A and B are shown apart, each in its own frame.
Chain A
């Protein structure tokens, strides 16, 4: 076991992990941040998408040790300081952009990543950006609408 330290949602955290422990596993099992979901074992589904040093990353593609010293953001850190839903989260609720909720954390993190880089994405831009996030419930229609609405609101 090896010590690892990082900042998650603005808070310094540390733990003891095996070399093979994935970041996704560390977040869920050691930090109890279970909003980051595991939907596959081949890094395809995107349910575990988080931000590492400001970039969108599938947390199952990194070992926890690789995140040593990193700034990590998860779905648990996306609400406003007063606990109310952030703009993207609120848009997903307003436009029914989620059903079972399992892919949703990854979708929100991917959307935040897109909107940080492109404040006015086209429908094709959004669909292209979500290529690594699978949803089985919505047919994506309302996810696209939610992200468009969030983009409009964020200006």
Chain B
């Protein structure tokens, strides 16, 4: 049987048909019989003591079914942090409880302290307005440095200061790193801010709980990137509902970018409400709620230092960061500024010493957690900005300074000074490719042409490496993870030869329904059309850790490979029985089983059918059926890398920055579907350029969210971005997973912010500008120009 749409091809996405015709099924599109509606009452102050909540009037409003406050969840567990981080002195981090509804105190604008359930959404909203809450506003703790300096005024009264942890990586390197700085010929130092972002998946979070009193079973439809992880958190930590009494269904999801990894209190609330009422209970966030309560991203303040010798050889890297946790620890919040950040601080370089210090800080702001890239964009930004600045100080070409310090292809596997082992890469080849696709030689002429129009043109260069494919469970465990980070798949060959693949990954834009069948089809030599993917339903799938950290293909895809290999092994046994041959003599190629040296052969479909019609199976030797499950736990992280170039024009009169071109050469390892990989890179670039140019989440000193809507928080629009030039051919396969893939989901968002800022600084370097924080808005650029005059 011919292969069709296998590995390396770009079939059209099968999921597109339902999305293009309005037949997608997102959580808020569902309407369960008898459902009522939840509406949350949220704090409008950043920090306050809840003196009393009077729900008596609201309870009498039309249509109200139930009202909940924090009192109702005092006995329920807290939503936990997924990673335990230890302080430099070995003591554990502080973990204040994160309740379902605020109790005793509200700790950020949007913190929910009550919920109304009513027959209609409008009735729930109307009744919420009748709740009388007496909240004694306290001074808000917003600035991280002040929060650390003042232990008397705390976000959480039960812990003794506002510092979650003070982490050193690698603590044993600290003294040697300091010594290297003492003796270095040149030190470049840069203080910078990695701006807070709001993820802004276009679909807001939504959940519908459906408790069945007849079976004592809960079903939760929810916007989750990882339904099994959500189930685990609810079962093991928050509500104690047995996993076999709780089904989590994550249907079509309108983007995640990290914000839908986490378990949120709204999910627990609708479950509790559905149990109490015996009816389905639905909640869907408004965009305002998304801004106030989705886990935000980034928000680091960093001092970055690079020590070199006189020739530009890197000697040591030292960083000190304050990382905002917000008011409560979200599930991955503590991993993001530590193990997803410090471990890649050596970048693409042979630098022998790295020391990273991170202080995580509680503030009266929304929780901060992993957002597309998660820790690696922050590391890349500070590293690649300081290298650019160093090149200018040394009078060297920024690209040549990087080349000089690259890990060379023959040095892999390479253990970096930040403590991880890169398995493969070829950074010089990426830069060569970048020079070609970005026409870097032509820059001088383009700069002159821009100057003729009164515009300042700049070229920004950046190289990056990231750690993804989360994650080897043994390493993750050593690093403090409270879960394993393997994934699982079941491949079920049905009697007529078509196949259902149950995967623990969840697709919310990544195209798994198209890509995963390509892998199975390629291995089995059958048409991809005969393979269907089942994802997002804990009742149908063995297990899975979900989709984030660019892990789906490398980890869940590898589990599918393993399960498919088991299918081939079992089917070979059946074929041997059918052809009355020794198993060792049966070959399998392109969907055909054959007996070597004979003309006997069977198609895959014939063997599949026999598996379910086993009239003559020797039952002590051969089991009926053709279904296999595999768990795959990676041996290491994967390490995608890339080289990016960006050209900008700056209008010196207005400070307006226009991105003229953007070229990206990425090594994402082997590519299964080039069309989808390009799309992932494009999307990451869009978000990274958005961070660099326009996006900024701002709280004022009272903790009011000033950027709480699309009128105040600038999203990159079509006319803010250029078309991109991308290439993924300068690749080195991952050395330790069966597909050789590394991951492409986050690369663009990691590599692009420093590229843009490097370009803007390059454009203004003749004026003496050395750094501008993101977003490089017209006002900041104009002010930098004026200050430099």
Contact = CB atoms under 8 A, between A and B. Distances in A.
Nearest to A25: B121
A32 B719 CA distance: 33
Contact of B717 (A34, A94, A130, A144): A130
B365 to A, nearest CB: 21
A128 interface: yes
Interface in B17-45: 17-26, 28-29, 31
Contact of B286 (A41, A79, A101): A41
Nearest to A74: B22
A130 B21 contact: no
A141 B724 contact: yes
B257 interface: yes
Contact of A98 (B19, B686, B716): B19
A139 B683 contact: yes
A152 interface: no
Contact of A100 (B23, B255, B709): B255
B13 A93 contact: yes
B510 A99 contact: yes
Contacts of A140: 686, 717-718, 721
Contact of B20 (A93, A126, A137, A142): A93
A105 B22 CA distance: 7
A124 B679 CA distance: 20
A143 B718 contact: yes
Given A34-B22, A134-B202, A136-B200, A98 B16 contact: yes
A18 B123 CA distance: 12
Given A18-B122, A99-B255, A102-B255, A127 B719 contact: yes
B255 A40 contact: no
Most buried by A among B24, B202, B715: B202
Interface in B354-394: none
A78 interface: yes
Chain A interface, DSSP helix/strand/loop, else mixed:
loop
B675 A144 contact: no
Contact of A101 (B31, B252, B685, B686): B252
Interface string A102-129: 1111001000000000000001101110
Interface string B505-516: 000111100000
Contacts of A13: none
Tell which of B25, B31, B678, B718 has the most Cβ of chain A within 10 Å: B718
B509 A134 contact: no
Contact of B719 (A40, A96, A103, A130): A130
Given A93-B13, A134-B710, A99 B20 contact: no
Given A89-B21, A142-B682, A45 B710 contact: yes
B254 A100 contact: yes
A6 interface: no
Contact of A40 (B679, B709, B716): B709
Contact of A134 (B29, B253, B257, B715): B715
Looking at B20, B201, B509, the one whose CB has the most chain A CB atoms below 10 A away is B20
B20 A37 contact: no
A78 B202 contact: no
Interface centre among B16, B201, B724 (most CB of A within 10 A): B16
Question: Chain B: interface residue count, which band?
Answer: 35 or more
Contacts of A41: 286-288, 709
B723 interface: yes
Nearest to B711: A42
A126 B682 contact: no
A150 interface: no
Nearest to A140: B718
A103 B710 CA distance: 15
Contacts of A40: 287, 709-710
A102 B26 contact: yes
B163 to A, nearest CB: 33
Given A93-B17, A101-B15, A140-B718, A42 B22 contact: no
Contact of B21 (A28, A38, A85): A85
Interface in A37-89: 37-42, 44-45, 47, 74-76, 78-79, 85, 89
B16 A100 contact: no
Nearest to A134: B715
B287 A100 contact: no
B606 interface: no
A34 to B, nearest CB: 4
A92 interface: yes
B718 A126 contact: yes
A75 B22 CA distance: 6
A100 B22 contact: no
Contacts of A3: none
A148 B530 CA distance: 33
Given A39-B202, A102-B202, A139 B23 contact: no
A47 to B, nearest CB: 6
Contacts of B723: 123, 141, 144
A16 interface: no
A2 B213 CA distance: 38
A93 B257 contact: no
B646 to A, nearest CB: 13
A96 B679 contact: yes
Contacts of A74: 22
A45 B290 CA distance: 14
30 contacts: A37-B26, A38-B28, A85-B20, A89-B20, A93-B12, A93-B13, A99-B255, A100-B201, A100-B203, A100-B252, A100-B255, A101-B19, A101-B24, A101-B254, A102-B24, A102-B26, A108-B20, A124-B719, A127-B721, A135-B202, A135-B686, A136-B255, A136-B687, A137-B202, A137-B679, A138-B679, A138-B683, A140-B686, A140-B721, A142-B682
Given A128-B718, A138-B683, 20 more contacts: A29-B31, A35-B24, A38-B28, A85-B17, A85-B20, A93-B16, A93-B20, A94-B12, A98-B19, A100-B254, A100-B509, A101-B20, A101-B24, A134-B717, A135-B686, A138-B682, A139-B685, A140-B717, A140-B721, A142-B679
Would you list the 7 A-B pairs with minimal beta carbon distance, nearest first? Answer: A35-B22, A139-B686, A101-B19, A102-B254, A100-B509, A44-B710, A99-B509
